[in-house]
Amino acid sequence: MSITIVSGGQTGVDRAALDAAIAAGLQHGGWCPKERRSEDGTIPSRYRLKETSAKAYRIRTMANVRDSDGTLLLVRGRLKGGTRLTLQCAEKTGRPYLLLLLSGRPDIVPVVQWLRNNAITVLNIAGPRESSEPGIYAEARFWLDNLFELLKRET
């Protein structure tokens, strides 16, 4: 299964998605705010992200949902902020989305089936930033490394 990972480059789940994609040798990209804005400063250039014309996070959120075949939301619990906006954008555009709770040990197989059933080749991955959910980067990265390894074996 060939897949490209897109994300907005924010700390937390976004960066975990991009780093896991790079480590797995998958194509990656997506939109980020003008001037590569993120909560920890400038998003590093190693991430192949295009800048939107505005610094507003919501613009890149909408662009990443629009330009992908589906969105995977990795969360621990209640949706808030940009993660909630991502879900709302997916619902509004009619794009497929899957909400995955990272608590416990989420099963990879249903996610792979969802990707196949929706013919997703460009996957937007989103979730909380690190400052609002400390440790979410490591949790998401571990889970995504396992998902991408399985997807690579199926190629």
Say whether 50 sits in a helix, a strand or coil. strand
Other C-beta atoms within 10 Å of 105: how many? 7
Q: Which amino acid is at 51?
A: E
Parent domain of 29: 4-154
> Can you give the pLDDT at residue 55?
94
The model carries a pTM of 0.96
What region, left, alpha or beta, does residue 41 occupy, with left being phi > 0 and alpha being psi -120 to 50 degrees?
left
The residue ranges of the chain whose pLDDT is under 50 are none
What pLDDT, on the 0 to 100 scale, is given for residue 2? Answer: 86
The SS3 call for residue 151 is helix
Q: How far is CA 77 from CA 97, 144, 147, in A?
A: 16, 18, 20
* 129 contacts 9 by C-beta, under 8 angstroms: no
Q: How many domains does the chain have?
A: 1
Question: What pLDDT is attached to residue 155?
Answer: 62
- CATH code of the domain in which 96 resides: 3.40.50.450
